[in-house]
Amino acid sequence: MTSDKVRPLVDFHCHLDLYPDHAEAVARCEREGVFTLAVTTTPKAWPRNQELAAATRHVRAALGLHPQLVAERGHEIALWKELLPRTRYVGEVGLDAGPRFYRSFDQQKEVFIEVLTSCATASDKILTVHSVRATKIVLDMIEKYLPPTRGRVVLHWFTGTAAEIRRAVDLGCYFSVNAEMLGNEKRTGVNRAFPLDRVLTETDGPFTRTDARPAEPVDVWRAVEGLATLHGLEAVDVGHRIRENLKALLAEVS
């Protein structure tokens, strides 16, 4: 299997500004025809991402305030709000209750509430959301602060249970999955619970690896192949399904 057989590709969560050459990373997405959502970890990073993405057909820049950085950067929520009217895409945002970041968890929740309520007011945003060890709380907050009529959430690298997947679907959520997730044999049963009409693909590059190097958006075909294997389908058909899902998501929020 090669990436050419499943093009065009969708990488709905990638940190393009964390590659050694940001501009070249964006340019390669454009050359390869990979629709890529370039997430940011702080609002200060968004203007440069937006500048590079604006010149492309295939790259979009998302306005983020990463939960792992809230302890040091939580005050940047003011700048985040100032920039929000300039973009349709939000991320990376959410909660992280892992041991390294739990100390800031209450502050993370305060910031995430502001993100969700601001997006609900705007009513036209698509969010890519981090939920490490905080699945129930993230879903509770989405249910309370961002109804599906006011925006859409794509749950990035979601590790909840099958029941939580069903709940997220009921809340209007989509899911972005990567090859590393799909390669976890312990979660095969849960991975099958992702409904194929709510799934997008991602790399989360450069935090994942392909052939011992940081994964790039063009490598997202491996996630397509992983989904095809999981469901006993042809990769070409899964790739088409992913592209149709992206079109549906964009049509739902306009």
Mean per-residue pLDDT, 46-64: 98
Given this model, what pLDDT does residue 125 score?
A: 98
2 within a domain of the structure (yes/no): no
151 within a domain of the structure (yes/no): yes
CATH code for the domain of 76: 3.20.20.140
Please measure the distance between the N-terminal and C-terminal CA atoms of the chain and give it in whole angstroms. Answer: 35
Given this model, what pLDDT does residue 86 score?
A: 98
140 within a domain of the structure (yes/no): yes
Question: Which tens digits make up the pLDDT trace of 221-251?
Answer: 999 999 999 999 999 999 999 999 999 999 9
Structural domain span for residue 218: 11-252
Given this model, what pLDDT does residue 4 score?
A: 64
Spell out the alpha helix ranges (H) of the chain.
22-32, 46-54, 70-73, 77-83, 105-122, 135-145, 162-170, 179-182, 188-191, 221-231, 235-252
Question: Which tens digits make up the pLDDT trace of 128-174?
Answer: 999 999 999 999 999 999 999 999 999 999 999 999 999 999 999 99
Tokens of 20: 């050694």
1 within a domain of the structure (yes/no): no
Given this model, what pLDDT does residue 3 score?
A: 56
Given this model, what pLDDT does residue 219 score?
A: 97
6 within a domain of the structure (yes/no): no
61 within a domain of the structure (yes/no): yes
In the chain, the number of structural domains is: 1
